[in-house]
Structure 1
Amino acid sequence: MGGYVRNIYMSNVTLAGVDVAIRFTGEFGEHPDKFYDPKALPLIEKVTIKDVTGENMKVAGFLEGIEGDIFVDICLSNRTLAVTSVSPWNCSYIQGYSNLVSPQICETRKRKIFAVHYSSCYHL
């Protein structure tokens, strides 16, 4: 395993004039030194972000896991973001739960990426 990020809880946030409201990405392309293990993938799970409002933003979010290493239990709730982009979300290799999120989050034609149950989310 390449480390982990889990059990993160963030709430009651107001944003204004930012380019991207929220960004998760596993594709940085940088490593601390030449001894890193390129096969060591991170565990990203149980991240809850709720009660967020925002105005005058370009993009609501980039939620980008890693092929073969899906970020799981990413939970977004009660988020209202006023964005200027016609494509407010960019999502890949991620799954989770969403409720009362505007603009609507990360749906593909084949399946809803955010479909797991609320009980999978991290709670304080």
Structure 2
Amino acid sequence: MPTQQLVIRWLTCISPTSAVIALGSEMSGGIQDVRAEDIVAINSETGVRIKTGVGRGGFVKDKYVKGFTMHTMKWAFWMMGNYGSHPDDKWDTNAIPIIQNINYQDMVAENVTMAARLEGIASDPFTGICISNVTIGIS
């Protein structure tokens, strides 16, 4: 079953070794219709992370993030399609994830090491990625 119709609002988070919002990697049922608004991240590894890889299957679709403020981050955005961890050698090499319709709007970040780490899957492009009205101050 997919995880769907999530609303994350009015959150303040400190996460020095991980993401404030992370979607994936074990998502064979999929994740869709996620809305995150009015989030404050302080001293965190990344603001928003999507992680998946070949063999995971599933999908991340229709994610909308608005009004996100970040202070002292490693990355503001991190999408990785090469998350290679599998529990055993019986995973399906044909299970390709779908990443589409990801929207980031009205975001501000300061003291960031790198604006983004974006690593897709060569044979399976991530589509419909929109980043608008985003300001990132690099440290």
The normalised TM-score by structure 2 is 0.56
Taking the TM superposition and a 5 Å limit, the aligned residue runs for 1:75-114 are: 75-85=64-74, 87-91=75-79, 92=81, 93-95=98-100, 96-103=102-109, 114=129
Range 17-26 or range 45-54, more displaced: 17-26
Taking the TM superposition and a 5 Å limit, the aligned residue runs for 1:1-124 are: 3-19=1-17, 20-27=19-26, 41-65=28-52, 67=54, 68-85=57-74, 87-91=75-79, 92=81, 93-95=98-100, 96-103=102-109, 114-115=129-130
Q: Which runs of 5+ in 1 are unaligned?
A: 29-40, 117-124
TM-superposed deviation, 1:25: 1.0
Q: Which runs of 5+ in 2 are unaligned?
A: 82-97, 110-114, 120-124, 132-139
Letter in 2 for 1:23: A
Per-residue CA deviation, residues 75-117 of structure 1 (Å, 9 max, x unaligned), is 11110112331x4432145332111123466768x9875239x
Describe the SS at the equivalent of 2:63.
strand
Highest RCO, 1 vs 2 (Cα 8 Å, sep ≥ 6): 1
Give RMSD over aligned pairs: 3.1
Number of equivalences: 100
Distance 1:98 1:61, change over 3 A: closer
CA distance in 1, matches of 2:128, 2:35: 16
The normalised TM-score by structure 1 is 0.61
Q: Which residue of 2 aligns with 1:36?
A: none
